């Protein structure tokens, strides 16, 4: 059964975790060089594939005994929070991506798709989505929330992420995402021992 509450929670957590990620910067660079709608189509398709893989992995985790699952997801959330807090941000080196020979839809969308498929495989938000799918045992709600969050971050990056990053300190965004993940981790560990 679809849950709007689960979708909203997943959206918030994944959005905040992805916002300071390299994907927003990659989308920004691609969006300044190519037609934004073409870039978004490729990036959105790649994120959809990543979320489907993460939700499938999270669904497999639900086969674990309930207390063990809560302990595993709690530990993974706490690990994710620690990664967010102690991960040094990657600086944009200013290198522009190689421009396709033409601006056709398939060339530009393919470039965006390939970039995201490679850059995001095994990324924190993909692991987080798998954890959320296991935690809530609601793959549809988790998948919708995660896809919408990732698409939103991509759109922000493509259409003007640099302006947002100037107005909202990256450190604040990262700390809020880490606090939410830590709270989810503590709650999951509490459920494992309660």
Q: What is the pLDDT of residue 80?
A: 63
pLDDT tens digits for 48-65? 999 999 888 877 766 667
Kindly tell me if the per-residue pLDDT of 90 is higher than 70.
no
- How far is the C-alpha of 141 from the C-alpha of 51, rounded, in Å? 12
Helix (H, G, I), strand (E, B) or coil at 100: coil
Kindly tell me if the per-residue pLDDT of 102 is higher than 80.
no
Q: Work out the burial of residue 118: count CB atoms within 10 Å of its CB; fewer than 13 is exposed, 13-18 middle, 19 or more buried.
A: exposed
Closest CA to 97 of 193, 30, 152, 149: 30
Q: What is the pLDDT of residue 93?
A: 42
Neighbouring C-beta atoms of residue 181, cutoff 10 Å: 26
pLDDT tens digits for 114-137? 878 877 776 778 888 988 888 888
The residues, ordered by sequence, that sit 6+ positions from 121 with a Cβ below 8 Å of its Cβ are 50
Q: pLDDT grade, residue 144 (50/70/90)? A: very high
Of residues 3 and 171, which shows the higher confidence score? Answer: 3
CA angle 67, 123, 170 (to 5 degrees): 105
Of residues 169 and 91, which shows the higher confidence score? Answer: 169
As a 3-state breakdown, the chain gives helix, strand, coil percent values, each rounded to 5, of 80, 0, 20
Of residues 122 and 104, which shows the higher confidence score? Answer: 104
CA–CA distances in Å: residue 143 to residues 122, 190, 191:
16, 25, 23
């Amino acid at each position: 059964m679809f849950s709007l509450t689960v979708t909203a929670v997943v959206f918030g957590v994944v959005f905040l975790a992805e916002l300071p990620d390299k994907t927003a910067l990659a989308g920004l660079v691609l969006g300044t060089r190519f037609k934004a709608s073409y870039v978004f189509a490729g990036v959105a398709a790649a994120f959809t594939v990543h979320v489907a893989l993460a939700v499938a992995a999270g669904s497999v985790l639900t086969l674990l005994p309930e207390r063990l699952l809560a302990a595993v997801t709690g530990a993974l959330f706490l690990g994710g929070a620690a990664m967010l807090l102690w991960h040094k941000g990657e600086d944009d080196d200013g290198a522009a991506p190689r421009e396709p020979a033409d601006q056709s839809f398939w060339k530009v969308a393919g470039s965006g798709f390939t970039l995201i498929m490679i850059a995001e495989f095994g990324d924190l938000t993909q692991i987080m989505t798998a954890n959320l799918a296991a935690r809530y045992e609601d793959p549809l709600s988790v998948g919708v929330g995660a896809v919408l969050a990732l698409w939103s971050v991509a759109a922000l990056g493509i259409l003007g992420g640099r302006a947002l990053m100037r107005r909202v300190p990256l450190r604040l965004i990262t700390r809020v995402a880490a606090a939410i993940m830590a709270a989810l981790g503590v709650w999951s560990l509490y459920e494992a021992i309660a």
